[in-house]
A and B are shown apart, each in its own frame.
Chain A
Amino acid sequence: GAVVSQHPSRVICKSGTSVKIECRSLDFQATTMFWYRQFPKQSLMLMATSNEGSKATYEQGVEKDKFLINHASLTLSTLTVTSAHPEDSSFYICSAKGQEIESPLHFGNGTRLTVT
C-alpha cells in the first residue's frame, strides 16, 4: 500500500529555535499534502493544506509565518516551526493524497515535538 514517511519521529528543541519536519510519499505522487496537529487525547486538527508548486492554504487561527510549509515536489512537503515555544509542543502528523480524485489519505508516523 501507499507509504508516507515522516521525519524526525521525535525532536526536542530549545525555545526560540526552529524545527523542520519532512513528509515524503514513498511510492506515489502526492499533489496535496495536509499537516495536522494533535494534542494528547484529542482529535486531529488540520493546520494547512499544501499543494505542490503553490502556496499553502492555512486554516483559521494558524499563523503562516510561524508554521512555514513548503511543497517543492510531488513527493516532499516540509513544515518548519519557527521560533518555537513550549506551547508549540505537540504531535504533528502529515498526510498525503494521491493524484486520483478518489484516492484515500495516508498518514505519516507523526513527529512528537517537545520545546523546552
Chain B
Amino acid sequence: GENVEQHPSTLSVQEGDSAVIKCTYSDSASNYFPWYKQELGKRPQLIIDIRSNVGEKKDQRIAVTLNKTAKHFSLHITETQPEDSAVYFCAARLKAAGNKLTFGGGTRVLVKP
C-alpha cells in the first residue's frame, strides 16, 4: 500500500516569511496529491492539489511542486499571515487502491505576528 511521510511536524515562522512543507510517498503509481488545511476542531479543507502529469501549480500565495522521480511533493506558502496558522496535511491517492487517500502525519504551522 501507499505510505506518506511528512516533514516537519511543527513549523514556526515569522509573519511575512515563507513556509515549506515536504512529503514523500512510496508508491510510484500514485497520481493525485492534495493538500488540506485543518483548523482546530474543524474539517480538513482542500487548499490545493496537483496531479502526476503536472510539475508545479500555484494559487495566489500557495504553490505545490511535484517530483515524480524522487517521489516527493512540497507545499510552499509565501508571505505568511497569522490566519495561515493551522495543521496542514498532504495526501497521496493510489488509483489501484480504490482511490483511497493516504495522509501524511501533518504539520502544525504557527505564524507569529
Report the minimal beta-carbon distance from B33 to chain A, rounded to whole angstroms.
11
- How many A-B pairs have beta carbons closer than 8 Å: the answer is 48
Report the minimal beta-carbon distance from A93 to chain B, rounded to whole angstroms.
6
User: In the complex, which residues of chain B have a beta carbon less than 8 angstroms from the beta carbon of A106?
Assistant: 46
Binding site for A on B (CB under 8 A): 32, 34, 36, 41-46, 49, 51, 89, 98-106, 108
Instruction: Say whether B46 contacts A34, CB under 8 Å.
Output: no
What secondary structure prevails in chain A residues at the interface with B?
strand
Report the minimal beta-carbon distance from B58 to chain A, rounded to whole angstroms.
18
Residues 29-44 (chain A) with a chain B CB within 8 angstroms: 32, 34, 41-44
Instruction: Say whether B89 contacts A43, CB under 8 Å.
Output: yes
Report the minimal beta-carbon distance from B27 to chain A, rounded to whole angstroms.
15
How far does the alpha carbon of A43 sit from the alpha carbon of B4 in the complex, in Å? Answer: 11
Q: Which stretch, A68-76, A79-87, A107-115, touches the partner chain B?
A: A107-115
Residues 84-98 (chain A) with a chain B CB within 8 angstroms: 91, 93, 95, 97
Q: How many residues of A contact B (CB 8 A)?
A: 24
Report the minimal beta-carbon distance from A53 to chain B, rounded to whole angstroms.
15
User: In the complex, which residues of chain B have a beta carbon less than 8 angstroms from the beta carbon of A105?
Assistant: 34, 46, 101
What secondary structure prevails in chain B residues at the interface with A?
strand
Report the minimal beta-carbon distance from A92 to chain B, rounded to whole angstroms.
12
Question: When the two chains form the complex, which single residue of A43, A104, A110, A112 contacts B104, counting CB atoms closer than 8 Å?
Answer: A43
How far does the alpha carbon of A101 sit from the alpha carbon of B71 in the complex, in Å? Answer: 22
Instruction: Say whether A110 contacts B106, CB under 8 Å.
Output: no
User: In the complex, which residues of chain B have a beta carbon less than 8 angstroms from the beta carbon of A32?
Assistant: 98-99
What residue of chain A has the Cβ atom nearest to residue B44's Cβ? A107
Report the minimal beta-carbon distance from A2 to chain B, rounded to whole angstroms.
10
List 15 A–B pairs whose Cβ atoms lie within 8 Å, in order of A's numbering. Answer: A32-B99, A34-B100, A34-B101, A44-B89, A46-B102, A49-B98, A101-B99, A104-B34, A104-B49, A105-B46, A106-B46, A107-B44, A107-B45, A109-B43, A110-B42
